[in-house]
Chains A and B, each alone.
Chain A
Amino acid sequence: MPESDTLTTAKPPFDVDKIRADFPVLSQKVNGKPLVYLDNAATTQKPRRVIDKVQQFDSEEYGTVRRGSYKLSEQATRMFEDVRQKVADLFGAADKKEIIFTSGTTQAINLVAHSFGKQFVKEGDEIIISNIEHHANTVPWQVLCEEKGAHLKVIPVNDRGELIMEEYEKLLSPRTRMVAVNHISNALGTINPVKEIARLAHAAGAKVLIDGAQSTAHMKLDVQDLDCDFYTFSGHKMYAPSGVGGLYGKYDLLKEMPPYVTGGDMIRQVTLEKTLYADPPARFEAGTPPITQVMGLGEAIDYLQEIGFDKIAEYEHALLEYGTRVLSEIDGLTIIGTAAHKASILSFNIDVIHPHDMVTLLDQDGISARGGHHCAQPTMKRFQVTATTRASASFYNKFEELDALAASVRRAIKLFS
């Protein structure tokens, strides 16, 4: 890193080496080179205390939740509900009853599409998504529209990958039932103006779901200030174990929605003739939940809160700016997604190298990045590419790792020229 560079010599707001020491996986070598992990938009690595919490809970405290009348179960239930409160606090929710645990964002969006859709979407109604959604926030709505005879409308984006808000306003109509957009695009890194999107949707009488898969690990949230009706997240993208995530929903709305999955623990009373459903959140948590993973999620939230989201956002923005610059200096490299408000996701293409060759070559230099369509084929089509190479940074990444990325890209170009 050049000494004269004011951007990069700006001191990180925390000791990055100390942070890195919290993540056992980061100290390994890959293909004889130090691991440079830059696929954080796909999934994040786990800090030691999350790993330890999971192991300790399973070793000493494991029990079923909300069922047993014995110490292990009662204790596990209390801890489980404490994590629900932590998620509520993290999101700024009014009440922990507004937090539903799911397996992740995909299941959370499917829950809303099915349950809200069943109750509120009729033939001829309209659902709005954007052109830069993950398939998880596209396919459930397509399926719903097919089933109901409703219409799917798509907010276009400009060449920087930003939603064209004037076009969005034109799409809103008295028939719009739901506007479902991501907070941050996984393929491009665009941070969407979700508060304004929600305000406009509500003015038109529509509800709003924000896909927060890419945002919850990187920024401070306040769902009441955003005034969204639903907000979804994935634990494994916020340093917690895979297999747990969830949904925030306004309680008055959740109460009106039928169950999505049915079975045990989501009922008030079952007779062979009729079942009375439990109130939310239990109504939407049929079956034994991912108990251990929820404990890991709680620990990950504590860890993130202790570092501080202001510091995380500040440092990751510096990584974005630095990465953007070192990549932009490479001849033949095009960054796809150049929104004014962006998260630390760098999607790029090299004129002479296909992304799948690029990521294989990066891997040979110890760099884990992603090549492909990122489960966002409509986004790829909008930018007239079949795939991109994507490097996504976290607060445990260093400026030097982005230098290593740029150097590896240059070596690959030389090899292919």
Chain B
Amino acid sequence: MSYDNELYQQVILDHNRKPRNFREMPEATHSCHGFNPLCGDDYTVYLKINDDDVIEEVSFMGSGCAISKASSSLMTGFLKGKNIDETKLVFDEFHRMVLGEMDPETQEHHLGKLALFKGIREFPSRIKCASLSWHSMMGALAKSENVTTE
């Protein structure tokens, strides 16, 4: 009884079981709480940004489904060491990919293994799960306290 599952790939299942950078960060310079009122996904994203606009540390804390947790976990690993301009570029590419507006197989991108979330476009009700912490991260950069998917 094994799945060959396009959505729940091993990487996603692994990051759901063992989320990386899953902690609060008292020394954060930026943070933002994100909430999806429809399903209750609820995370806070923390950033520590240095004077050169580079993300030195990034973490998240909260609860939600496997897609939201794995997406948050992979995002934090990916963003560490990136500067703010690179981060905004990647956010834009990720966002367009999950909406089905950018195909990582045919178009140039900087998403690396984040491209594995491509399959989410086939599950419209789950797009917000994959993008919640990305919106929170952008909210943190913009110094917002809260974002919501609604």
CB neighbours of B7 from chain A (8 A): 360
By the criterion CB–CB under 8 Å, are A357 and B66 in contact? yes
A71 within 8 A of B: no
**Which listed segment binds B: A121-129, A208-216, A409-417?**
A409-417
By the criterion CB–CB under 8 Å, are A372 and B5 in contact? no
The answer, among B5, B40, B126, for a CB contact under 8 Å with A373, is: B40
- B interface residues, Cβ below 8 angstroms from A: 1, 3, 5, 7-8, 13, 16-17, 38-40, 42, 63-67, 123, 125-126, 129
Closest chain B CB from A382 CB (angstroms): 15
Contact A416-B66, Cβ < 8 Å, known A356-B129, A360-B7, A411-B1: yes
CB neighbours of B3 from chain A (8 A): 364, 411, 415
- Give A372 to B17 CA distance when docked, in angstroms: 21
By the criterion CB–CB under 8 Å, are A356 and B39 in contact? yes
By the criterion CB–CB under 8 Å, are B40 and A387 in contact? yes
Q: Which residue of A lies closest to B7 (CB)?
A: A360
A361 within 8 A of B: yes
Contact A386-B123, Cβ < 8 Å, known A356-B129, A357-B8, A415-B5: no
Contact A353-B1, Cβ < 8 Å, known A360-B126, A387-B40: no
Q: Interface size (A, Cβ < 8 Å)?
A: 17
- Give A353 to B12 CA distance when docked, in angstroms: 13
Contact A386-B8, Cβ < 8 Å, known A356-B129, A360-B126, A415-B3: no
A151 within 8 A of B: no
By the criterion CB–CB under 8 Å, are B126 and A387 in contact? no
Residue with the highest number of chain A CB atoms closer than 10 Å, among B13, B38, B65: B65
By the criterion CB–CB under 8 Å, are A361 and B1 in contact? no
A sample of 17 more A-B contacts (CB under 8 A), given A356-B65, A373-B40, A416-B66, is A353-B66, A354-B66, A356-B126, A356-B129, A357-B66, A357-B67, A360-B7, A360-B126, A364-B3, A371-B39, A372-B39, A386-B39, A386-B63, A387-B40, A411-B1, A411-B3, A416-B17
Q: Say what secondary structure dominates the interface of chain A.
A: helix
Closest chain B CB from A417 CB (angstroms): 8
Task: Give residues of chain A (336-377) contacting chain B, Cβ–Cβ below 8 Å.
Answer: 353-357, 360-361, 364, 371-373
The answer, among B13, B38, B65, B123, for a CB contact under 8 Å with A354, is: B65
State the 4 A-B residue pairs at the shortest beta-carbon distance, nearest first: A386-B40, A354-B65, A356-B65, A357-B66
CB neighbours of A415 from chain B (8 A): 3, 5, 8, 13
Closest chain A CB from B126 CB (angstroms): 7
Closest chain B CB from A358 CB (angstroms): 9
Closest chain B CB from A233 CB (angstroms): 26
23 contacts between A and B (CB under 8 A): A354-B39, A354-B64, A354-B66, A356-B65, A356-B125, A356-B126, A357-B8, A357-B66, A364-B3, A371-B39, A372-B38, A372-B39, A373-B40, A386-B39, A387-B40, A411-B1, A411-B3, A414-B1, A415-B3, A415-B8, A415-B13, A416-B16, A416-B66
CB neighbours of B66 from chain A (8 A): 353-354, 357, 416
Task: Give residues of chain A (6-57) contacting chain B, Cβ–Cβ below 8 Å.
Answer: none
- Give A387 to B123 CA distance when docked, in angstroms: 19
- Give A371 to B8 CA distance when docked, in angstroms: 17
CB neighbours of B39 from chain A (8 A): 354-356, 371-372, 386-387
CB neighbours of A387 from chain B (8 A): 39-40
- Give A386 to B38 CA distance when docked, in angstroms: 10
CB neighbours of B38 from chain A (8 A): 372
Q: Which residue of A lies closest to B17 (CB)?
A: A416
